[in-house]
Structure 1
Amino acid sequence: MEGRVTVLIREFELEKDREAADAIDRVCEVGPSGKMTLFTDLLGDPVSRVRHSPAFLMLVAETVGPATEIVGLIRGCVKTVTCGKKPTRSGATTAKHQNPPSPIYTKVGYILGLRVSPYHRRMGIGLKLVREMEEWFRDTGAEYAYMATDKDNEASVRLFTGRCGYSKFRTPSILVHPVFAHRSPAANLATMIHLSPTDAELLYRRRFSTVEFFPRDIDAVLHNPLSLGTFVAVPRETIWSGISSFLSDPPSSWAVLSVWNCKDVFRLEIRGAGRFRRGLAWASRVVDRAMPWLRIPSVPDLFHPFGVYFLYGVGGEGNEAAEMARALCGHAHNMARMAGGVGVVAAEVASCEPLREGIPHWRRLSCAEDLWCVKRLAEDYSDGAVGDWTKSPPGTTIFVDPREF
């Protein structure tokens, strides 16, 4: 069969290819059994997951012959991100709040959503799609390409690291927590400040612009309708006097995060759970409805399509920063609870993120190691002081763009 199938790679056409692309998405599960898997695109637009990026493209693989058929697809976007920071000159001031280090930017292409029909695998279709996307990355000026996959997805890891020349780069963690029927009391641990997009941009650029993968167009992210707000948690005795005062003289401990509404882009569901686990979840909801005063943390129905709120831009400082982050996560949980239709809140952070212990999550739903792989697209590009980014050691934190979750 392999020798008889000819495949054409072309750009996706919405009206012509929508149904076939949706069908490919549905038959290709994302993640191992018992984990969250991509279910469907709510907007009826298969490029909706990348269309919020500065430049994006979707390609399809179509069989050639009397009866053409779409058997694969790939999404990609290009943006400018931080890959390091310029070294501080000897004798320069160390007042970090007033003179933050300067970031080094590079242009990257991100591969999102490579899918090949189960009936047409092991024919080189995935490799063709990746190579075509990389050509577009190069034409757009990208210096690197990267992608994310589950570390246990052997086929994906083998394709990218074995045949496409990618190297394993970072292993962040995806932390997922259910949205319960009752308010989270964690939100009461601190004073919550809701920042305007302009103030949030100032905070992120001043304090996080040298974090790996920080998007240069953070203003576009924060002003996007899917971004539901940026929140700062400070000790309860703190008097808030505005963002300028905060940046010049921050409290001893604080934390920040932003909330992104994935519910209006796609939905997830848990597949592969046995009857026993489904029954326990159902029973917890029944008991909670009968005796709500017990405030039982009943498990929401995650076995049918549900929405997600994604927490991005997680950071902070101080001995109590993790507790401040816990308060912010509780606030985001309560936002999701009030919105309805949101089954979980999720965050993706570096494996050694200092605030990780303050982010509530269920181990069963989470992914301890999400594998990011990277490839340098052209050797003649120069990254200034950072050298070859693919060989740089990981930092303690990472900025995950919500447009790519």
Structure 2
Amino acid sequence: MAVVAPEDDGRAPVAVREFDAHSERDRAAVERLERACEVGPSGGKLCLFTDLLGDPLCRVRHSPAYLMLVAEAAGGPLGGAEVVGVVRGCIKTVACGRGSNLFSKVAYLLGLRVSPGHRRRGIGRSLVERMEEWFRQMGAEYAYVATDRDNEPSVRLFTARCGYAKFRTPSVLVHPVFRHDLAPSRSRRIAVVELAPRDAERLYRERLGDVEFFPRDIDAVLSNALSLGTFLAVPDAAARQWRGVDAFLAAPPESWAVASVWNCKDAFRLEVRGAPRLWRAAAHATRAADRALSPWLRVPSVPNLFEPFGMHFLYGLGGAGPAAPRMARALCRHAHNLARAAGACVVATEVGACDPLRAGVPHWPKLGAEDLWCIKRLADGYGDGALGDWTKAPPGASIFVDPREF
């Protein structure tokens, strides 16, 4: 057990220990902590609250190896210890984006929370350092973390105090789900084909296997119960002559795109808080107009995001050819229809800053976010050879965002 030294003001020390998934006390304490911590921009702006549906481990339990730590301070309710901090971590093997067969064992740190009344005491740093000890024990070569680019306290913690370097700047793109379906292609020249998990795995490994952060266990991702399917957008003529993934890989059309859909709705719920009354009224008005005028006019409406809502995540977005962005748009519209049928309120994806398919992803800027991924080399001697020091590698065009960690 690691202990945080007491502050000069005489407050009690804080102990860091492993979260007990079988303890109702731990589960309830973490839930209270999560509810007390607003996730999102500070300063009275919009914030995003995440409800983990009673499973504090839901965002990491699908990874090959994971751990959750809590920090406890004395003086809690009834004189006992109070959970004042939490962090989660998981480990996987991913492609480094520097060519085929270059993989690295990488740790991902997420869900760092510290109670508002216990901040600025070094608790967050102690949780990170204790988690990094476990990462090293498990043989991880690098650790990385994603945070909001505008979250200055979080960026400062990782870059100035914990030794992380700014690494990648992907964007979270979010689109609301309307009351009506969207046509995948207005010109009807693009068709969407669903792939079986084994066919999807082969396509991903052959076409996207060298994309940065591509998971070596992509088969486990695609076969997970939360993965709702993989879809390939191709010209309509190619779809009519579809002869399977082998024929596609042997002679792909000039342009194509692929993506998979992950069901976050059954893992956690989200809620937008802090929106002005005017925004709420405007969103309500769009829904009212949609109900009154659909299906004739199909008004773009804002779903009720001010109460708990579910989300679908589009992952593994990739493709090739001059029309690939239009193919990606068709996949996003198809994912919208899947989400509408399932009762999800938004579809989100995350793309690299230079990804050419980004231009084809429909989204509402006010619903999205600009991320910052920070990375740290955990031990000297790791990652040498053909890879070199990954923390100093220039970004590629694309990035693979693992849905298990979104």
TM-score class, shorter: over 0.9
8 A Cα contact 1:63 1:71, kept in partner: yes
Q: Secondary structure at the match of 1:21?
A: helix
2:389 paired residue number? 388
The amino acid across from 1:205 in the alignment is R
**TM-score under structure 1 length normalisation:** 0.93
Q: Secondary structure at the match of 1:229?
A: strand
Q: Secondary structure at the match of 2:10?
A: helix
8 A Cα contact 2:184 2:191, kept in partner: no
Of the three residues 290, 293, 302, the one matched with 2:292 is 290
Q: Could you tell me how far 1:30 is from its partner in structure 2?
A: 1.2
Q: Could you tell me how far 1:3 is from its partner in structure 2?
A: 3.4
Q: Could you tell me how far 1:383 is from its partner in structure 2?
A: 3.4
Q: Secondary structure at the match of 2:331?
A: helix
> Gaps spanning 5+ residues in structure 1: where?
87-101
Paired with 1:35 and 1:359, the residues of 2 have a C-alpha distance of: 23
2:55 paired residue number? 45
**TM-score under structure 2 length normalisation:** 0.93
Paired with 2:98 and 2:156, the residues of 1 have a C-alpha distance of: 32
Of the three residues 14, 17, 21, the one matched with 1:10 is 17
* Residue 192 of structure 2 corresponds to residue 183 of structure 1: no
Counterparts of 1:155-170 in structure 2 under 5 Å? 155-170=153-168
Q: Could you tell me how far 1:307 is from its partner in structure 2?
A: 0.6
Percent identical pairs in the alignment equals 63
The amino acid across from 1:124 in the alignment is G
Paired with 2:368 and 2:290, the residues of 1 have a C-alpha distance of: 24
Q: 1:107-152 CA deviation, whole Å, 9 max, x = no partner?
A: 0110010000000000110010000000000000000010000011
Q: Secondary structure at the match of 1:211?
A: coil
Q: Could you tell me how far 1:318 is from its partner in structure 2?
A: 0.9
Q: Could you tell me how far 1:237 is from its partner in structure 2?
A: 1.2
Paired with 1:279 and 1:49, the residues of 2 have a C-alpha distance of: 33
Q: 1:181-200 CA deviation, whole Å, 9 max, x = no partner?
A: 01112356411110011000
Q: Could you tell me how far 1:36 is from its partner in structure 2?
A: 5.5
Paired with 1:335 and 1:251, the residues of 2 have a C-alpha distance of: 25
2:279 paired residue number? 277
* Residue 325 of structure 2 corresponds to residue 322 of structure 1: yes
Counterparts of 1:25-36 in structure 2 under 5 Å? 25-32=34-41, 34-35=45-46
1:23 paired residue number? 32
Of the three residues 116, 119, 122, the one matched with 1:121 is 119
Q: 1:236-278 CA deviation, whole Å, 9 max, x = no partner?
A: 1112110000001001110000000000111111112111111
The amino acid across from 2:242 in the alignment is W
The amino acid across from 1:129 in the alignment is L
* Residue 261 of structure 2 corresponds to residue 259 of structure 1: yes
Paired with 2:47 and 2:361, the residues of 1 have a C-alpha distance of: 19
1:96 paired residue number? none
8 A Cα contact 2:49 2:273, kept in partner: no
Paired with 1:3 and 1:255, the residues of 2 have a C-alpha distance of: 59
RMSD of equivalent CA atoms? 1.3
Of the three residues 109, 114, 134, the one matched with 1:136 is 134
Q: Secondary structure at the match of 1:386?
A: coil
8 A Cα contact 2:182 2:337, kept in partner: yes
1:336 paired residue number? 339
The amino acid across from 1:41 in the alignment is L
1:219 paired residue number? 219
* Residue 102 of structure 2 corresponds to residue 78 of structure 1: no
